[in-house]
Amino acid sequence: MGEENISFLAVWIILGNIFVTFSSVPEATTDTVFVSTSPLPPTAEWLTNYTDIVSKFSLRTADIPDDDMCYIVAGRPETIKECEFNSETQTFVVIHGWTVTGMFESWVPKLVSALYEREPTANVIVVDWLTRANQHYPTSAAYTKLVGRDVAKFVTWLQKELQLPWGRIHLLGYSLGAHVAGIAGDLTDHKISRITGLDPAGPTFEHADDQSTLSRDDAQFVDVLHTNTRGSPDRSIGIQRPVGHIDIYPNGGTFQPGCDIQNTLLGIALEGIKGLQNMDQLVKCSHERSIHLFIDSLLNTQQQSMAYRCNSKEAFNKGLCLNCRKNRCNKLGYNINKVRTARSTKMYLKTRDMMPYKVFHYQVKVHFFSKDRLSFTEQPMKISLYGTHGEKNDISSVLPVLNGNSTLSFLITTDVDIGDLMIVKMRWEKDTIISWSNWWGSSKFHIRKLRIKSGETQSKVIFSPKEGEFAYLVRGGEDAVFVKSKEDKMSRKEKLMHKLKMQGSLFGQNDA
């Protein structure tokens, strides 16, 4: 066996050890650890009993975001003053998830710093439940009920002690921490303003009741990012079902760009032996992307990612959902518009593989004519966009079906702000499999026009062939070139309203 095969075997042995914890989850739930399942006392006295609080609450600072320098202790008002808590501003409570190492992960100080960068006078409190989170997964999952009670008691005590407006309390929970936040919100004697769930954990929670998980009833507004929902229900790392007022599924929610095995293994290999300690990144990369997308929304305020309401990721990938009317689009992350509807709203978007994650979404709608009865599957296309601000060449797209005399709609994205779209080029690449049609018959389509809609600007533009009535799309041939023909009529009022909305004046600022 060669060295390459040995190293790859080592990779999968380590991965197997990580995954086995998840695969055994359904058999064990609260039986693994003692968690009282008896109903809570009919009075609220349990909320004021602080003797059984195990979790610790540190007020971190912008100067030292990676260390717990000062703990606020429920029932001890002097600790509020000692930690220099600011009662006049926003309070964020950050709750971590399951941990293999028993230590805070590197994302914690990054999120703390980003929150302070955005809200310099805020209080950022980090919940330390590491001893309970560093157990076999089912044990830690069961502990979320006790940790949720700790957080509920702490938040309620702090609010009463300082008469804090509930509207200034925002819980942010990652993985198991998202369910801790939900349980805490369910138990407080007043609704918390906002809970953000960052890829809430899936195993043991996919089919659990609302009192045991994050749910839309746990705060006045609950927004959720789903970034790692691959696999069958209850065995996917992140929860698959919607659990908030708005549930956003970046890149379909199953898997995130840049988190493929090749990229991760390359990074690990470059670090040598030390890299083996980071094998869990293969599992965590997409899971943790939820946090970094939220950090991105805090730091890159001029590059806000937009998500779009859609019934399915398949419809979204066809470009059918790029509509902003009646709250059908929204900002991802900190600046989200707090829309509370009767049912959970599922939203989708594409992102880049690195920060800033924002991309621009376009629906391309095209009718293909052909003299012969042509039919192809999985055809690779390259599309180039040229606008008033910039250009993006050779955007790859694969058309699942390509038939003569049919209309196709598909989604393309670019990380470049090209401004108003002026020219579009389309090229039909040769596929890797040699088709019989390469040997005889025509592989040419006629295109009379393209219709392109921009998600970010809501503009609808028709493009006509640069020369003649038709442009010709030939497999392995030259670019078919289209130029701006006319823009669908959008009233001046509609354009102004959309501009105001995108700049935030209609997005209910300051109620975060």
Q: How many residues does the chain have?
A: 512
Mark out the alpha helices in 46-195 (DSSP H runs): 78-82, 107-118, 130-133, 137-162, 176-187
Check the CA dihedral 223-227-231-235 and report its sign: negative
Cα–Cα distance, 411 to 439 (Å, whole number): 31
Report how far Cα 186 is from the mean position of its chain's Cα atoms: 24
- CB-based contact 300:355 (threshold 8 Å): yes
Out of 199, 223, 247, 296, pick the active-site residue: 199
Cα–Cα distance, 250 to 288 (Å, whole number): 12
- CB-based contact 101:68 (threshold 8 Å): no
Out of 113, 140, 175, 290, pick the active-site residue: 175
Give, in degrees to the nearest 5, the angle at Cα 207 between 202 and 210: 95
Cα–Cα distance, 442 to 177 (Å, whole number): 58
Out of 179, 287, 361, 498, pick the active-site residue: 287
Check the CA dihedral 73-153-335-164 and report its sign: negative
Cα pseudo-dihedral 348, 352, 357, 359, rounded to 10 = -70
- Of the candidates 32, 337, 55, 21, the residue with the CA atom closest to the CA atom of residue 183: 55
DSSP secondary structure string, 377-433? Answer: EEEEEEEEEEESS-EEEEEEEEEEEEETTEEEEEEEEESS---SEEEEEEEEPPPSS
User: How distant, in Å, are the alpha carbons of 181, 239, 242 from that of 246?
Assistant: 16, 14, 8
Backbone angles phi, psi at 57, to 5 degrees: -125, 105
Cα–Cα distance, 157 to 163 (Å, whole number): 10
Cα–Cα distance, 244 to 222 (Å, whole number): 5
- Is-catalytic flag, 287? yes
User: Is residue 242 left, alpha or beta, with left meaning phi > 0 and alpha meaning psi from -120 to 50?
Assistant: beta
Binding site residues for Ca(2+), as ranges?
Answer: 218
- Is-catalytic flag, 498? no
- CB-based contact 204:26 (threshold 8 Å): yes
- CB-based contact 248:197 (threshold 8 Å): no
Q: What is the 3-state secondary structure (H, E, C) of 324-384?
A: CHHHCEEECCCCCCCCCCCCCEEEEECCCCCCCCCCEEEEEEEEEECCCCCEEEEEEEEEE
- Is-catalytic flag, 23? no
Binding site residues, as ranges?
Answer: 218
- The residues assigned a catalytic role are 175, 199, 287
